[in-house]
Amino acid sequence: MAAEQGFNMASVGKEPDLGFPSGTLLGALPEPSVAALSARWRVSTVAKGGLVIGSEESSDDFFLVLGGAARAAVYTANGRELIFVDVPRGDCFGELAAIDGAPRSANVVALETLTVARLGSREFHALLREDQAFSLAMLQLLSGKLRRVTRQLTEYAALTGPQRICGELLAMAKRHRSGPDAAQVPHPVTQAELSRIVFTNRETVTREVARLKGKNLLSWSRSAIQVPSIARLEREYASLLGE
């Protein structure tokens, strides 16, 4: 398959690297579950910018990010790209096709040199049956993704552009805490990409980001978005909502 041209295959059953970030699938699993996964996975590397899986592709492997980060994007009927979600070290992608065998619903590309572990759908299904902790973690992960999509749809219908921008930046900050009240979002989306995530135009994003930066609620560079106080950003979001 074309999406596999960037892969360099490594060992099968590689020993797990424990200590994955909290809030990720591997970070939530107990050591025996990670060991059971690692006994079955095949490890590959993908160069920065490489395509891991392609939208509408007929493949059903399940992927875990062991190193680096990936980004999933979907496309509208007219070809407009919508950034869907970033996948950090310790998290996974490809679970929908692994579950139901349907074509892939998104493109996934490597944001940097990416190390992934992959399991075939049969191995994935076997672990779901055999490992209760893994099954529960997958249910929680899918529930979280569904809640995020529901939030985005609700916000698109009910909120203004500035409200959606601030809300998405707040959600990013909460997913990337670097301290009790601070956040550092690595591999940040560009402002043009953020406009596609929240369904608004680039000019609105530029104005709102400048306003938030002017209030010292965040800083934005090519390498990271820094949020010094998540609580302050949350209060700003509540103020925009009129709460």
pLDDT confidence of residue 15: 41
pLDDT confidence of residue 77: 74
* CATH of segment(s) 2-151: 2.60.120.10
The answer to whether 63 and 97 have CB atoms below 8 angstroms apart is no
Q: Which fold has domain 159-240?
A: Arc Repressor Mutant, subunit A (1.10.10)
Of 117 and 77, more confident: 117
**Residues composing the chain:** 243
**Burial of residue 80 (number of CB atoms within 10 Å: 0-12, 13-18, 19+):** exposed
Spatial neighbors of 219 by CB under 8 A, at least 6 apart, are: 213, 225, 226
Confidence band of 16 (pLDDT split at 50, 70, 90): very low
Residue 140 has pLDDT above 90, yes or no: yes
**Burial of residue 167 (number of CB atoms within 10 Å: 0-12, 13-18, 19+):** buried
pLDDT confidence of residue 234: 97
Q: Comparing 72-81, 113-122, 168-177, 203-212, which segment has the lowest mean pLDDT? A: 72-81
Residue 198 has pLDDT above 80, yes or no: yes
How far is it, in rounded angstroms, from Cα 99 to Cα 166?
34
**Chain position carrying tokens 């993704």:** 145
* SS3 of residue 147 by DSSP: helix
Segment 197-208 shows an average pLDDT of 92
The answer to whether 33 and 71 have CB atoms below 8 angstroms apart is no
pLDDT confidence of residue 2: 41
pLDDT confidence of residue 84: 73
The helix or strand, by DSSP H or E, that contains position 84, with its residue range, turns out to be strand 81-87
Residue 114 has pLDDT above 50, yes or no: yes
The Cα angle at residue 228 between residues 170 and 188, in degrees rounded to 5? 55
pLDDT confidence of residue 189: 83
Confidence band of 155 (pLDDT split at 50, 70, 90): confident
How far is it, in rounded angstroms, from Cα 175 to Cα 164?
17
pLDDT digits (tens, 9 = 90+) for 29-55: 999 999 999 999 999 999 999 999 998
pLDDT digits (tens, 9 = 90+) for 52-91: 999 899 999 999 999 999 999 887 777 777 777 889 999 9
Annotated domain spans of the chain = 2-151, 159-240
The answer to whether 18 and 45 have CB atoms below 8 angstroms apart is no
Mean per-residue pLDDT of the chain: 89
Residue 17 has pLDDT above 50, yes or no: no
Segment 18-32 shows an average pLDDT of 87
